[in-house]
Amino acid sequence: MEAFVKDQILATIKYAPFHTAAGHFKKSASPAVEECRRKLGGFIKGTCHPKDNYAQMKGAGIGWFRLDVPFPFEAGGGARQEYLDWKEKLRRHRKNGIRVMALTPYPKEYLKAGIDPRTPEGETRVREIAAFLIDDLKGLVGGFQITNEMGIPHFTLPLTMKQAARFIGVQLEAMYPHRGDILMGYNSAGPQADLHALLRPWLKYCDYVGIDIYIGCFFGVACWMGLFDAMLRYLWSMTGKPIILMEFGYISGGAPKTPEEKRERLRRYGMNSEREAREKLDLFMENIKQVNEKMWERVTKNASGSYADYIFKSDYKNHFYSELPKHTVIKKYPHTPEGQADFYGDIYPRLAKLPFLLGAFIYCWQDGEKCGYCNQADCPTETRWGLVGLDGREKPSYYAVRDAM
């Protein structure tokens, strides 16, 4: 992940110098922005990973859900039951006054179905399926996001960045003649100027460009609230397209661990120190496998070098120890339920001042039971994002979002 951030910084410098951006920084909303707002009927206030408790969500002003589209066809060609069931869910959402931003399938889902987007035959099928989806879901979705966060390895592989950009572009091109009032676009994880530069030939098919921004939650550097404004303005400047903040949020729990608390975590896996874990790495990994097999699978699958380096020297260290380090926080917004609420109460007025911004999707609706990266219930990095708790009760952030905008 550190390499990904470094690559983003270098690409940002290469593709969109500040002096180019400055002109757009001063511009107000364009005709394209106004046309998108007409289709939307107002600013998007949405959430990710929703439940079916519509009254509670609408009580917070949530009017949009962001949902992954299941791959629609079996390998033999028939419709998948998962896709048909998902369409029924969409009908319930529409009946209850909720609009949907639908995320088309990832490259790996095409490959699993025997379709390789890197081949001419595979690309033809990608185009056909894209056209099918926009026709089949017309009247049920308000917008499409073409796949998700290309450039993040576990979403993108085995495609290269150039191949991933084409994977997005050909779907936009195939869907464009069918779009009607459905909004179409794609997103990036952070500024990711290399992806946006590669997609310039297909921007003419986009109504919007999306971006996912998480500050003060994953890294202990540049944890400034003003970076939201800067990155959103940067993307507007580079693409000239209306912008949607496709994912953003703030963790409501988590703190640094004391040395003794870290030792207790190591003892869970039979070690007394990181040094001992390195010296007895085979035993350490076997103990992890016995106690927490999903953590073992994650480490062995994703570590490109030493397992110990992956656990103790990458951002996975936060997962292993279930902590948020001291500097991984935005000043004034501690990782508490109240700090999370203050974050939302302050950020919405900032977002409202950006004339090119169409809306924002909160990550996410409800707290998680266990972290998907380390399988630990006390890991805050992936379990404390919700506006409501595991029991479904509203947290202070629910009311902050309700009262914003």
Residue 111: give its domain's CATH number.
3.20.20.80
Clarify whether residues 384 and 312 are in a common domain. no
Both 213 and 232 in one domain: the answer is yes
**In a shared domain, residues 89 and 162:** yes
Using N-to-C axis directions, what is the helix angle for 18-25 and 226-239, rounded to 10°?
A: 100
Which residue, of 321, 343, 370, is where some domain finishes?
321
What is the per-residue pLDDT for 15? 52
Q: Which domain holds residue 306?
A: 259-321
Tell me if 248 sits within 8 A of 210, measured CB to CB: no
Quick one: 301 and 391 in the same domain?
no
| 203 and 290, same domain (yes or no) | no
Predicted TM-score of the model (pTM)? 0.91
How many domains are there within the chain? 2
Q: What confidence score (pLDDT) does residue 77 get? A: 81
Instruction: Decide which of 300, 321, 342 is a domain's last residue.
Output: 321
Collect all residues with Cβ–Cβ distance below 8 Å to 50 and sequence separation of at least 6: 57, 62, 65, 67, 98, 365
Q: What pLDDT does residue 19 have?
A: 40
Residues of the chain with pLDDT under 70: 1-29
SS (H, E, C) the chain: CHHHHHHHHHHHHHHCCHHHHHHHHCCCCCHHHHHHHHHHCCCEEEEECCCCCHHHHHHCCCCEEEEECCCCECCCCCECHHHHHHHHHHHHHHHCCCEEEEECCCHHHHHHCCCCCCCHHHHHHHHHHHHHHHHHCECCECEEECCCCCCCHHHHCCCCHHHHHHHHHHHHHHHHHHCCCCEEEEEEECCCHHHHHHCHHHHHHCCEEEEEECCCCCCCCCCCCHHHHHHHHHHHHHHCCCEEEEEECCCCCCCCCCHHHHHHHHHHCCCCCHHHHHHCHHHHHHHHHHHCHHHHHHHHHHCCCCHHHHHHHCCHHHHHHCCCCCCCCECCECCCHHHHHHHHHHHHHHHHCCCCEEEEEECCCECCCCCCCCCCCCCHHHCCCCCECCCCCECHHHHHHHHCC
Q: What is the CA radius of gyration of the chain?
A: 22
Same domain, 169 and 317: no
Do 130 and 231 lie in one domain? The reply is yes
Q: Are residues 15 and 148 in the same domain?
A: yes
Same domain, 126 and 199: yes
In this structure, the answer to whether residues 101 and 172 fall within a common structural domain is: yes
Give helix 281-291 / helix 293-302 axis angle, nearest 10°.
130
My answer on whether 279 and 173 are in the same domain is no
Among 275, 299, 321, which residue terminates a domain? 321
Same domain (yes/no): 153, 273:
no
